[in-house]
């Protein structure tokens, strides 16, 4: 349904213009920006503000394109995408509708839709050669996100959305409106006589975000401020954890980390941060164990020789002054890879089949420790490190590169320092820096 902004809204709409102008001026020359536009007030406001600021600030070298993701979940979605296309055409902005096809999950629908949305937008950005993707998340979205993440894991490391996030290790997603209230955006649109589309799912209490929105509506600015503080803390911790990783950690066999437990104990805050991301890297999971598991891991660092625990599909074991972290030897994946295709095996390796026949990938097995591994690892851990690697044919017919699950799909900008330190240990290139990617 098309909705004009309510006349009762009293907000400083000039803030929208100022934020858009400041963002435009930060972009590099000839930057191509793909703006995600659902047709809602936030995204229509973002596209309009950027288009106006581009002209008013003398940044007509900046190119805007727009894309609408049709999740195919509502009958009206296609009509709404067509309305956005008309809106863009009137402003001379190229527009594409990206449709989420295929079977939809019975549970976890919102998470699956989010993943599909980012995948489709990243694909469109690649097709266009865009330098970054702009999303219209607002201060309200930020407050809701922080509240939901705190409720889920109760971790002191919980934060809101990053101002910039690297998607698929290739394209930066930016959020210029995180400090702007939704009512301010609607006042901006009202001043121009512009309408937007209301999505009925935004009022559907079956969805967690809608329920949280109602709970935090009186605490939006406070929560958004806490999210900014959390981002600053995480950026600082990421840098400290990167330094700690460089001094305390050694990667063995490409699957096991040996850490100096004494150095971890001496720096508990960056050590927790490091373990919360290193464990999922070695375990092949997108998220760290958080909370109580990290406290147990820190206690293990100061514990006796031979003490052990599991977390995030990893075994953590203390040997003298070393803490070893390695993938558990159970529930290891098996895949069949058709010729010319690739898969993410066990969340840890990207394997490409370059042969003309279907390739079956399975764990290497219990007797697969390399000849030199036992020289610097306890025998049992050396054998486990061999077991959790994939068994592969000669490299002439297969390509196998480490996949870093917490970073390769979504990498918040405040975690870039630690991500690059860990990537270097795996002989992976550094993740793209936002400055040459799209900033001046």
On whether 340 is known to bind a ligand per the annotation, the reply is no
On whether 333 is known to bind a ligand per the annotation, the reply is no
Question: Distance (Å, rounded) from C-alpha 230 to C-alpha 437?
Answer: 25
On whether 229 is known to bind a ligand per the annotation, the reply is no
On whether 247 is known to bind a ligand per the annotation, the reply is no
On whether 30 is known to bind a ligand per the annotation, the reply is no
Question: Distance (Å, rounded) from C-alpha 379 to C-alpha 284?
Answer: 23
Q: Which ranges constitute the DSSP H helices of 259-378?
A: 261-266, 268-283, 291-301
End-to-end CA distance of the chain: 39
Name, in order, each residue with C-beta under 8 angstroms of 428's C-beta and a sequence gap of 6 or more.
Answer: 401, 402, 404
Q: In which order are the strands placed within the sheet that holds 390-391?
A: 335-337, 359-363, 390-391
Question: Distance (Å, rounded) from C-alpha 329 to C-alpha 270?
Answer: 28
Name, in order, each residue with C-beta under 8 angstroms of 190's C-beta and a sequence gap of 6 or more.
Answer: 4, 5, 6, 7, 9, 13
Residue among 320, 304, 332, 339 at smallest CA distance from 260: 320
On whether 159 is known to bind a ligand per the annotation, the reply is no
Question: Distance (Å, rounded) from C-alpha 261 to C-alpha 271?
Answer: 10
Tokens of 324: 């070893």
Q: Are strands 63-70 and 94-99 parallel, antiparallel or unpaired?
A: parallel
Question: Distance (Å, rounded) from C-alpha 342 to C-alpha 198?
Answer: 40
Q: Is 142 exposed, middle or buried (0-12, 13-18, 19+ CB in 10 A)?
A: buried
Structural contact between residues 333 and 271, judged by C-beta atoms closer than 8 angstroms: no
Place of tokens 């972009």: 27
Binding-site annotation, residues: 38-43
Binding-site annotation, residues for ATP: 38-43
């Amino acid at each position: 349904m098309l909705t004009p902004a309510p006349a009762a809204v009293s907000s400083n709409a000039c803030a929208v213009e100022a934020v858009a102008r400041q963002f435009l001026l930060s972009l590099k020359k000839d930057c191509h920006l793909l703006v995600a536009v659902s047709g809602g007030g936030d995204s229509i406001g973002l596209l309009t503000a950027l288009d106006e600021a581009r002209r008013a600030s003398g940044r007509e070298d900046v190119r805007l394109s727009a894309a609408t993701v049709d999740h195919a979940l509502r009958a009206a979605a296609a009509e709404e995408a067509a309305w956005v296309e008309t809106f863009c055409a009137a402003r001379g902005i190229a527009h594409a509708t990206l449709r989420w096809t295929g079977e939809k999950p019975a549970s976890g629908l919102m998470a699956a839709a989010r993943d599909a949305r980012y995948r489709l937008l990243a694909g469109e950005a690649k097709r266009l050669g865009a330098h970054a993707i702009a999303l219209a998340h607002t201060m309200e979205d930020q407050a809701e996100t922080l509240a939901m993440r705190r409720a889920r894991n109760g971790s002191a490391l919980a934060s809101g959305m990053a101002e910039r996030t690297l998607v698929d290790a290739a394209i930066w997603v930016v959020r210029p409106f995180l400090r702007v209230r939704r009512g301010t955006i609607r006042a901006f649109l009202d001043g121009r006589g512009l309408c937007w589309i209301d999505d009925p799912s935004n009022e559907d209490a079956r969805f967690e975000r809608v329920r949280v929105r109602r709970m935090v509506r009186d605490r939006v600015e406070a929560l958004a401020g806490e999210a900014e503080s959390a981002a600053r803390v995480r950026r600082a911790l990421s840098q400290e954890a990167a330094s700690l990783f460089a001094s305390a950690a050694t990667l063995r066999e490409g699957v096991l980390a040996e850490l100096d437990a004494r150095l971890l104990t001496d720096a508990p805050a960056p050590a927790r941060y490091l373990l919360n991301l290193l464990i999922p890297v070695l375990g092949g999971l997108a998220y760290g164990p958080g909370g109580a598991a990290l406290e147990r891991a820190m206690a293990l660092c100061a514990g006796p020789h031979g003490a052990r625990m599991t977390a995030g599909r990893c075994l953590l074991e203390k040997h003298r002054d070393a803490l070893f972290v390695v993938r558990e030897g159970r529930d290891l994946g098996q895949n069949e890879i058709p010729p010319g295709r690739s898969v993410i095996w066990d969340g840890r390796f990207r394997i490409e089949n370059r042969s003309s026949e279907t390739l079956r990938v399975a764990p290497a097995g219990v007797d697969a420790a390399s000849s030199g591994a036992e020289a610097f690892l306890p025998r049992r851990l050396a054998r486990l490190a061999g077991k959790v690697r994939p068994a592969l044919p000669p490299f002439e017919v297969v390509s196998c590169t480490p996949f870093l699950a917490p970073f390769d799909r979504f990498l918040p900008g405040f975690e870039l320092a630690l991500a690059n330190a860990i990537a270097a240990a795996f002989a992976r290139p550094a993740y793209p820096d936002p400055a040459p990617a799209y900033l001046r």
